[in-house]
Structure 1
Amino acid sequence: MARTLIAPSILAADFARLGEEVRAAEAAGADMIHVDVMDGHFVPNISIGPSVVKSIRPHSKLPFDVHLMIAPVDPFIQQFRDAGADIITVHPEAGPHVHRTLQAIRASGAKAGVSLNPGTPAEVVDPIIDLVDLILVMSVNPGFGGQSFIETALPKIEKLRKKIDATGRDIILEVDGGVNAKTAPRVIEAGATALVAGTAVYGGDPTKYADNIRAIRGSA
């Protein structure tokens, strides 16, 4: 079985020392750095923009997994790519033409991801699955960290696993929201290959980040 990818979300990190927090996650054994970008419009919170991504980019060699919870999204794709995003993930609801948006992400040189909210059905990916390198299942409603896992995400993950397997491509199936050492085994059993963890990694003592990542990966 392939290694489960762990992507700590800097949304739960100490914003006063983001560079250090990114370095600490890499040293602790993370596989990617998950960057949640929120605009206060598409989701009810505001986080960071391209300038912050650019400022933390030199602090890690890990892939930056940038989740754009913004609308409109198309005007900002190249900015986030230029800032250092390796994977850019968008929501189908964030613009009128998600197919075109995914093409634009690929044209920028980044890998393309699509994110499904709890109320967005798995079937949304059917016309666009050939364009995606990552599918992100939101197991909470996007906008805030620290929420509880929504159980209906599990059958959606199972459906998406079948769809991905049918393509024969190595598409990352990522899950974000309420992921911790207790929920991770169920998410992996359903078919996920990558886990976004915010407070489960960054919550508490920075010296425990490696232990936190090991606990999640070990349980999965």
Structure 2
Amino acid sequence: MVAPSLLSADFARLGEEARAMEAAGADWLHLDVMDFHFVPNLTVGPMVAASLRKETDLPIDAHLMVTDPVALARPFAEAGVDWITFHVEAVADPARAAREIRGMGVKVGVSLKPGTPLEALEPCLGEVGLVLVMGVEPGFGGQAWIPETLEKARGLKERGWGGLVSMDGGVGGANALTLAQGGVDVLVAGSAVFCAPDPAGMVRRLRELGEKGAARRPPGWPRPV
């Protein structure tokens, strides 16, 4: 699956960019929400999400890189996003946070930074349908992927966890096959897509590589439901 990250899109043409990704066959849109506290950058709020919802039927995942994700989740849920992904580092009780957000009528994901161990997710894995592995330090697009982060995707599959595993940061044509083979179900790609000469062609290329990689996984790994 391919989820173009709108952080690298042209914000003056965001609706047009979203429609182009839908036409290209993207599976969903990844919307990075940053508050200049949890990460050193500031991006968009729920008004932008509500505007995007009018422009595309694609599922939207609001990736909340904020200090209080539960409080901010509700206005994004009301804006019409389909997924809300919060950071495990931002909450004291990730299982409770996941339940509260799910109660707002959206699907829930949890994310972790490169330096956070996979064990930090243990309390909430039964409460979420998506784990978003950060392949770079969150905050800015265009960074180089940290290869060691793939071990977290492998670890989730080896434990038999049946949800979706996503990788965000440094994802592109050079590593998509490796990522998919290593357990990544959803390729979140920003610069690789929107800075490509042919963004639609890159979406199709990433899907092709993702499907090839997934076909090479160990037979005992679970398939996401």
Matched, 1:121 2:111: no
Q: Which amino acid aligns with 1:17?
A: R
Determine if contact 2:94/2:123 at 8 Å carries over to the other structure.
no
Is 1:135 the counterpart of 2:131? The answer is: yes
DSSP-derived class of the 1:144 partner: coil
Shift of 1:95: 2.2
> Secondary structure of the equivalent of 2:123?
coil
State the 1:97 CA deviation.
2.1
Unpaired runs of 5+ residues, structure 1, are none
**TM-score with structure 2 setting the length:** 0.90
**Aligned residue runs from structure 1 range 21-60, under 5 A:** 21-60=17-56
The corresponding residue for 2:194 is 202
The letter for the 2-side match of 1:106 is R
Q: CA RMSD in A?
A: 1.1
TM-score by length of 1: 0.92
User: Residue 211 of structure 1 is aligned with which of 192, 201, 207?
Assistant: 201
Amino acid at match of 2:77: R
- The residue aligned with 1:64 is 60
Matches within 5 A, 1:52-201: 52-163=48-159, 165=160, 167=161, 169=162, 171-201=163-193
Structure 1 residue runs of 4 or more that deviate by more than 3 Å after TM superposition: none
CA shift for structure 1 position 204: 4.2
| Letter in structure 1 aligned against 2:125 | I
Distance 1:162 1:49 in 2: 36
Q: Partner of 2:14: helix, strand, or coil?
A: helix
Provide the rounded CA distance (Å) in 1 between the counterparts of 2:199 and 2:24: 6
**Secondary structure of the corresponding residue to residue 173 of structure 1:** strand
**Identity over the aligned pairs, expressed in percent?**
46
Offset of 1:218 from its aligned partner? 2.0
- Kept after mapping to 2: 8 A contact 1:43/1:70: yes
Q: 3-state DSSP class of the match of 1:126?
A: helix
Give the secondary-structure state (helix, strand or coil) at the position aligned to 1:143.
coil
On the 8 A contact 1:118/1:139 being kept in 2, the answer is yes
Distance in 2 of aligned mates of 1:144 and 1:93: 18
Distance apart, 1:112 and its partner CA: 0.7
Aligned length: 210
SS of 1:44's equivalent in the other structure is coil
Deviation at 1:100, TM superposition (A): 1.5
* Aligned residues of 1:182 and 1:219 also touching (Cα < 8 A): no
Partner AA of 1:188 in structure 2: A
How far apart in 1 are the matches of 2:21 and 2:65? 23
Cα shift at 1:219? 2.5
